[in-house]
Amino acid sequence: MRARYLGPNWDLAHVRGTAFNTGRGIQMALDIGAMPTGHWSGCHATEWDMNAPPFGDLTVGDSFQKHNYTFGIYINARGERFVDEGADFHTFTYAKYGREVLNQPGLFAWQIFDQKVTHLLREDYRIRRITKVQADTFEELAPKLEGVDPKRFLQTIKAYNEAPRPSVEFDPNVRDGLCTQGLAVNKSNWANRLDKPPYHAYGVSCGVTFTFGGLKINTSSEVIDTAGRPIPGLYAAGELVGGLYYHNYASGSGLTSGAVFGRIGGRSAATFAATRR
Calculate mean pLDDT across residues 179-187: 98
- Assess whether pLDDT exceeds 90 at residue 251: no
Q: Which residues fall within 8 angstroms of residue 187, CB to CB, at 6 or more apart?
A: 73, 84, 85, 86, 160, 179, 180
pLDDT score, position 77 = 98
Calculate mean pLDDT across residues 17-33: 94
Q: Which residues fall within 8 angstroms of residue 146, CB to CB, at 6 or more apart?
A: 203
pLDDT score, position 250 = 87
- Assess whether pLDDT exceeds 80 at residue 53: yes
What is the tens place of the pLDDT at every residue in 105-116? Answer: 999 999 999 999
pLDDT score, position 66 = 97
Averaged pLDDT of the chain: 96
Percent of the chain predicted with pLDDT > 70: 100
- Assess whether pLDDT exceeds 90 at residue 10: yes
What is the tens place of the pLDDT at every residue in 209-250? Answer: 999 999 999 999 999 999 999 999 999 999 999 999 999 998
Is CATH 3.20.20.60 the right assignment for the domain spanning 47-207? no
State how far the Cα of 198 lies from the Cα of 195, in Å rounded to an integer.
9
Residue 140: CB atoms within 10 A of its CB come to: 14
Q: Residues 25, 41, 8, CA angle at the centre, nearest 5°?
A: 105
- Note the Cα 81 to chain centre separation in Å: 17
DSSP3 helix / strand / coil % (the chain, rounded to 5): 35, 20, 45
Tell me the pLDDT band of 276, cut-offs 50, 70 and 90.
confident
Query: Residue 43 corresponds to which amino acid?
Result: C
- Assess whether pLDDT exceeds 80 at residue 188: yes
For residues 37 and 30, the answer to whether their CB atoms sit within 8 Å is no
Q: What is the dihedral of CA 35, 261, 16, 110, to 10 degrees?
A: 100
Q: Which residues fall within 8 angstroms of residue 24, CB to CB, at 6 or more apart?
A: none
**Integer angstrom CA distances of residue 54 from 15, 82, 216, 217, 264:** 6, 25, 30, 31, 34
- Enclosing H/E stretch for 201: strand 199-211
Helix (DSSP H) and strand (DSSP E) numbers for the chain = 6, 10
State how far the Cα of 205 lies from the Cα of 226, in Å rounded to an integer.
37
Domain spans of the chain? Answer: 47-207
Calculate mean pLDDT across residues 62-78: 97
Calculate mean pLDDT across residues 162-170: 97
Q: Which residues fall within 8 angstroms of residue 255, CB to CB, at 6 or more apart?
A: none
